[in-house]
Structure 1
Amino acid sequence: MKFMHISDLHIGKRVNEFSLVEEQKHILGEILELLKKEAVQGLLVAGDIYDKVIPSAEAVDIFDEFLTQVAQINIPIFIISGNHDSPERLEFGSRIMHNNNIYIYGEYDAKVQKIVLNDEYGPVNVFLLPYIKPVIVNKKLSSQTESYQECVQLALQDLKLDTSQRNILVAHQFVTAAGVSPERSESESISLGGVDNVDFGVFADFDYVALGHIHRAQKIGRDTVRYSGSPLKYSFSECNHNKSVTLVEIKQKGEIFINLISLNPLRDLQELKTTLAELQSGSTLEKVSQNNYVHITLTDEQEILDAIGKVREIYPNVMLLDFENKRSQNDLELELLTNKDLQEKTPEQLFADFYLKQNNQELTNQQQKILQQVLAEALQETER
């Protein structure tokens, strides 16, 4: 039986105030075509369907259209909530959808849901565990777990898995391997101190674990415990990620084949460090498409008036613009004035030091005369 594993759609997400609605529609359309092309028999969606607890109407429409199209090609869909989702809102209408092979488990209700599929090798058990944390599990099970590790162990302990059969778990947690964390990016929610981590060992009895939460596709602990990653890049820290879907083919017990298929976004996220002259010459267009979302760092030493306007003439989708030159380096090195500085230096000397740091050159004689005149006039005003 062949499954496709995806997660972290974050429908409705904005990156640097740019809406990615068109990109998300495009990538979901590509995923739909891959479901057909690869003759997939089950779609595992491991949480963070939406980017906000209260998604926009547009975001809900996008996911509704995607579910409708997948249901039309008669592929079972298994969906859990992630930490970005509202469990109650995601689960709306789930009992009706169940009749169309759409299984949505949003709000944890003291058990792990189980759906059984069958193929020529026998049953395949798909277990759904939405995003949980101690406060949720303790409320539902009247327990006193203190860590994410404990609450996941408790949630799974009564499953009584038949390990002679093939068992798949869909979950959305921060899973680590003997203290080693997966590779993360800036667009993920991060808890200080690793308090939310769950060791992969708690999933030892499952043949495949379809994880969500981390945006880079990767295994954790073993090949069959995997994050699918997000289908789109949601921060410039993900520029070097190869976004993909994960195909999992499970034949007889113990025989699992995993294949990552790359996705092709409508617009990529890229970073570029260059001068304005190089941008305007068109030489950068060979490596960074004009269509893409870009983070540009200009290295020009001279001040550029309306830099963002000039950059947008070449790259209309520039999201971030930074500068890297002697002036910006000096900015990083500026220190707070001490009482000694204020006591020993005149206002002219303090301003001259500041000007040198900002512009990497000293005041000219003419500028010094202007400064002295301005300070004298200011002094006269204060004495009146």
Structure 2
Amino acid sequence: MKLLHIADLHIGKRVNKFNMIDDQKYILEQILRITDEGKPDGVLIAGDVYDKSQPSAEAVELLDEFLTKLTAFGQPVFMISGNHDSPERLGFGSRIMQKNGLHIAGVFDGVLQKVSLEDEHGIVNIYLLPFLKPAMVKPYFEQLMESYDEAVRAVISATEINAQERNILLAHQFVISGTQQPERSESESLSVGGLDNVDVSAFESFDYVALGHLHRPQRIGRDTVRYAGSPLKYSFSEVRHQKSVTFVELGVKGELLIHQLPLISLHDLREIKGPIAGLLRIGREEPDSAEDYLHATLTDEEEIYDAIGQLRQVYRNLMVLNFENSRTRQAVSAQIAVSGDIAEKSPMDLFAAFYQMQNNNELTPEQVQVMERIFEQAGGAGV
């Protein structure tokens, strides 16, 4: 049996105020082509289907189009809610949709939902665990639970799992392996005190765990517990990611192969750096790559008039612009120096440091005298 594992579509997402809907349409069409060619026996969508709990109309329309085409191939589709989704909205009409092969676990109702498939090697059980918080689980269990790990373990322990059959879990949690943590990106929320961690040992009953939540494709703890990653780069911390879809091939119990197929985006998300003249020349010589979403860092020492306007004449999808030169380096050094002992600095010292940061020059003796008089008149100690 062959399963396709994807996650973190974040339909409707904006990156640095840029609407990504056209890029998402493009990458979802690519996933449909891969599905048509690869002929999986099932598709696993591991949460964060939408980017917001109240998705826009265009996001809802795009998901509807994608799922309609996906289910038309004839294989069952399994989808769970993530922390970005509204469980109720995502699960609306789920019982009706099951008739067309779309199985959705939006709201957790106290039971780990199971769907069974069968091939020449026997039964494959697919369990659907939507994103869980302890508060979502407490109404169904008597024991006290404060952490996400306790909540997930309680749900799994209450489920009868046949160890002789092949068992797949679809989940959306932050999974660690002891002290080992997976790689996360800037667009993912940070753990608070480790309470949202779930240790990989909680999933020992499953032959494969299809995870969503983190944007880089990666294993955690063992090869058979994997994040599919997002299909697009959604922050500049992801510039070195290779986005992909994950295929899982199940043989007899204990035999499992995993391989990834790369995804090619409509526009890449990249970082460029250098003097403005060089960057403009490269952009004009390579117009196709100039359409990418960019974070540009200018290294020119001299002031540049309307730098962002000049760059956007060539790079129309420029998202972020900053500068790196001797002035910015000195400003950072000055900020560190000031912040280190700010309580011990006089107003005059603080103003002098600020002036140095802004002008890359020290105050002249005459300027110092003027500022000292101003501080005295204002009733503050200048020195």
Q: Same fold (TM over 0.5)?
A: yes
Matched residue SS, 1:194: coil
Following TM superposition, by how much is the alpha carbon of 1:281 offset from its aligned partner in structure 2, in angstroms?
A: 2.2
Q: Which residue matches 2:195?
A: 195
Number of residue-to-residue matches in the alignment: 372
1:150 is aligned to: 150
CA contact (8 A) 1:46 1:79 kept: yes
CA 1:83–1:285: 2 relative to 1, 3 Å: farther
- Are the aligned partners of 2:272 and 2:297 in contact in 1 as well (CA < 8 Å)? yes
Aligned match of 2:68 = 68
1:358 to partner: Cα distance? 3.0
2:95 paired residue number: 95
| Partner deviation per Cα, 1:195-239 (whole Å, 9 max, x = no partner) | 111111111111111000111101111111110011111100000
How many angstroms does 1:339 deviate by? Answer: 7.1
Equivalent residue number for residue 327 of structure 1: 327
Distance change in 2, residues 1:207/1:342 (3 Å): closer
Residue 21 of structure 2 is matched in structure 1 by 21
Aligned in 2, Cα 1:251/1:87: closer, same or farther, shift over 3 Å?
same
Q: For 1:198 and 1:357, how far apart are their aligned partners in 2?
A: 45
Contact 2:283 2:289 in 1 (8 A): no
State the match for 2:294 in structure 1. Answer: 294
Structure 1 residue 303: Cα displacement: 1.2
Q: Distance in 1 between matches of 2:353 and 2:68?
A: 66
Deviation at 1:353, TM superposition (A): 6.0
Aligned-residue offset at 1:284:
8.6
Counterpart of 1:177?
177
Structure 1 segment 362-381 matched on structure 2, within 5 A: none
Q: What code does the residue aligned with 1:180 have?
A: Q
Write the distance in 2 (CA, Å) between the matches of 1:207 and 1:128. Answer: 14
Relative to the length of structure 1, the TM-score reads 0.90
In structure 2, distance between residues paired with 1:244 and 1:167 = 24
**In 1, Cα distance between equivalents of 2:284 and 2:356:** 33
Aligned partner of 2:120 in structure 1 is 120
Q: Is the 8 A contact 1:279 1:314 kept in 2?
A: no
Q: 2: distance between equivalents of 1:342 and 1:237?
A: 38
Is the CA contact 1:179–1:199 (under 8 Å) kept in the aligned structure 2? Answer: no
Once the two structures are TM-superposed, the CA of residue 143 in structure 1 deviates from its matched residue by 3.6
TM superposition shift of 1:277? 1.4
Correspondence for 1:132: 132
CA 1:138 to 1:286, structure 2 compared with 1: closer, same or farther past 3 Å?
same
Aligned counterparts of 2:84 and 2:354: Cα–Cα separation in 1: 45
| Corresponding residue for residue 280 of structure 1 | 280
Query: 1:45 is paired with a residue of what secondary structure?
Result: strand
Q: Residue 249 of structure 2 aligns to which amino acid in structure 1?
A: E
Q: Which runs of 5+ in 1 are unaligned?
A: none
Give the direction of change, closer, same or farther, for the CA distance of 1:352–1:118 in structure 2 (3 Å limit). Answer: closer
Amino acid at match of 2:105: Y
Question: Partners of 1:77 and 1:160 in 2: how far apart?
Answer: 23
- Equivalent residue, structure 2, for 1:245: 245
After TM superposition, give the deviation of residue 142 of structure 1 in Å. Answer: 4.1
Indicate the residue corresponding to 1:141 in structure 2: 141
- C-alpha distance 326-139 of structure 1, shift in aligned 2 (>3 A): same
| Structure 1 residues 288 and 218: alpha-carbon distance in aligned structure 2, compared to 1, 3 A threshold | farther
Query: Where does 1:350-369 land on structure 2 (aligned, <5 Å)?
Result: 354-361=354-361
For 1:314, the equivalent position in structure 2 comes to 314
SS of match in other structure, 1:36: helix
In the superposition, relative to structure 1, how do residues 352 and 138 fare at CA in structure 2: closer, same or farther (>3 Å)? Answer: closer
Contact persistence 1:5–1:228 (CA under 8 A): yes
- Partners of 1:353 and 1:21 lie apart in 2 by 45
Q: Is the 8 A contact 1:12 1:59 kept in 2?
A: yes
Judge conservation of contact 2:124–2:168 (CA < 8 Å) in 1: yes
- % identical equivalent positions: 52
Q: Give CA-to-partner distance per residue, 1:282-339, whole Å, 9 cap, x none.
A: 2796599101000011111111121110111121101100111111112222326777
The answer for unaligned runs of 5 or more in structure 2 is 379-383
2: CA distance, partners of 1:8 / 1:168: 19
Q: CA deviation at 1:141?
A: 2.7
- Given that 1:137 and 1:143 are in contact with CA atoms closer than 8 Å, whether structure 2 keeps it comes out as no
Task: Give me the whole-angstrom Cα distance separating, in 2, the residues matched to 1:225 and 1:34.
Answer: 22
| TM-score normalised over the length of structure 2 | 0.90
Separation in 2, partners of 1:203, 1:109: 20
Cα distance in 1 between the residues matched to 2:188 and 2:13: 12
Aligned partners of 2:283 and 2:290 also within 8 Å: no
Rate the CA distance shift 1:167–1:65 in 2: closer, same or farther, 3 A: same
Deviations 1:103-124 (A, max 9, x none): 0010000000110111111111
Per mean C-alpha deviation after superposition, the further-off stretch among 185-194 and 38-47 is: 185-194
> What's the offset of the Cα at 1:129?
0.6
